Amino acid sequence: MRVALDYRPALVNREGIGRYTRELVRALVALGHGPELGLFGWTLASRRTSRSELGLAGSGAHYSRLRFPSRWFPGLARLTGRGAEDFCGGAQLWHHTQPSLLPVRAAREVSTIFDCIYTRANGFLSDEAAASMTASARRQIERSRLVLVPSAYVRDELVATFGIDPARAAVALLGCDHALREPVLPRARGAQETILTVSRVDRRKNHVRMLRAFEIVLRARPGAHWIVAGPAGHGSEDFERALEASPARASVEWLRYVPEEHLGALHARAGQFWFTSLDEGFGLPPLEAMARGVPTISSTRASLPEVLGQGAVLLDAEDHEALAREALALAADRERARALAERGRARASELTWRACAEATWAAYARALT
């Protein structure tokens, strides 16, 4: 079976979509599928990942990389009568890993759709972005023989929102073992007083309510410290205003840019990880924290119960007082915190990129039948 993938996110995206593409291909290579892969990496953007991160050395994959504007490629395809798969060795199957679809000549197509958050009027995106993303998802579904999704929750959302036949949606849970590629650092002294949240700061991620919870925690534990690691996103001004007016602002550290290689050190500084998101298609940040042994408190919303299982404390994302109570209880009971950390490690160990790649390869085979 010859498969070609849109590899552009692996090269230029440092967030979830880039992580997914890099790790999926690494795992497919580890399974021995490298010589069957074509990787399309034509983009004008500079590569933001190292060769070691890509893990392609000796893989046998046909990696086509050219500094070429993506917006020009449809014109080139029309001019030459070729599709994206033809520029990376040819393929029976093309995998769209992102909503920015490339022209394909003859290969059957599959797509990954990560969530349906943009289809709901919830203020998490601008109206223009929501409309554009919804239209892109419709195009992906129309063009694809099969749609890959990161959770059963997203599969059910696709069925309810777009009317897709459930048989056309294949669940391939993402992995988190990339978090263990480097040795886990020993817990820093005084870590029990530090809370960590890693995510883009936008309305969906619920930072304002987490701030209210931290204010309660700080009153009970004056040495507490909250590290927020992530860039500003849509609606981040809500959090900025709340933080400026908060009595806890001196104990909150907002790191708007953290290199990926520094995340392990941040996890080692943390006694707790908070991620009470209001909506998720999967949820990698809490899994990464769990994999590194950080006791994690998250949300009962969307995909998070499915993904995190018994490895995290799950509570109502809108109840900041419940978050504060749980955080204080964990800080006061180290044995309970250790038990939660062990459950987190156990759950995280079940979600591997190898398993994701195996499920994805099986879906490829289904799409070609």
Quote the tokens at residue 152. Answer: 């059963």
pLDDT, tens digit (0-9, with 9 covering 90-100), for 200-219: 999 999 999 999 999 999 99
How far does CA 101 lie from the centroid of its chain? 20
For residue 50, is pLDDT > 90?
A: no
Q: Which domains does the chain have, with CATH numbers?
A: 3-175+352-367 (3.40.50.2000), 179-349 (3.40.50.2000)
Predicted local distance difference test score (pLDDT) of residue 133: 94
Contact by Cβ (8 Å): 14, 105: no
Collect all residues with Cβ–Cβ distance below 8 Å to 30 and sequence separation of at least 6: 354, 357
What number is the average pLDDT over the span 140-160? 97
Q: Is the pLDDT at 306 greater than 80, yes or no?
A: yes
For 158, residues 6+ apart whose C-beta sits below 8 A from its C-beta are 113, 116, 141, 147, 149, 164, 169
Instruction: Give me the pLDDT at residue 117, please.
Output: 94
Q: Are 289 and 270 in contact (CB under 8 A)?
A: yes
pTM for this model (two decimals): 0.95
pLDDT at 190: 80
Instruction: Say which residues have a Cβ less than 8 Å from residue 5's Cβ, sequence separation at least 6.
Output: 21, 24, 25, 37, 38, 39, 40, 94, 95, 97
pLDDT tier, 308 (very low <50, low <70, confident <90, very high otherwise):
very high
Name the pLDDT band for 55 (thresholds 50, 70, 90).
very high
pLDDT confidence of residue 248: 98
Name which of 284, 279, 296, 276 is nearest 351 in CA terms: 284
353-367 and 16-30 are packed helices; what angle lies between their axes, rounded to 10 degrees?
A: 80
Output the pLDDT for position 182. 86
Using CA atoms, how far apart are residues 49 and 39, in angstroms rounded to an integer? 15
Q: What is the DSSP string of 219-264?
A: HH-TT-EEEEES-B-TTHHHHHHHHHH-TTGGGEEEES---GGGHH
Torsion from C-alpha of 298, 300, 306, 312, nearest 10 degrees = 30
**Residue 265 contacts residue 240 (beta carbons within 8 Å):** no
Are 109 and 144 a contacting pair, CB within 8 Å? Answer: yes
HSE (side-chain half, CA atoms, 13 Å) at 330: 28
Contact between 125 and 84 under an 8 Å Cβ cutoff? The reply is no
Residue of 88, 85, 14 lying closest to 45 (CA atoms): 14
Of all residues in the chain, the percent with pLDDT exceeding 70 is 100
What is the spatial distance between Cα 120 and Cα 118, in angstroms, rounded to a whole number?
6
CB 195 within 8 A of CB 226: yes
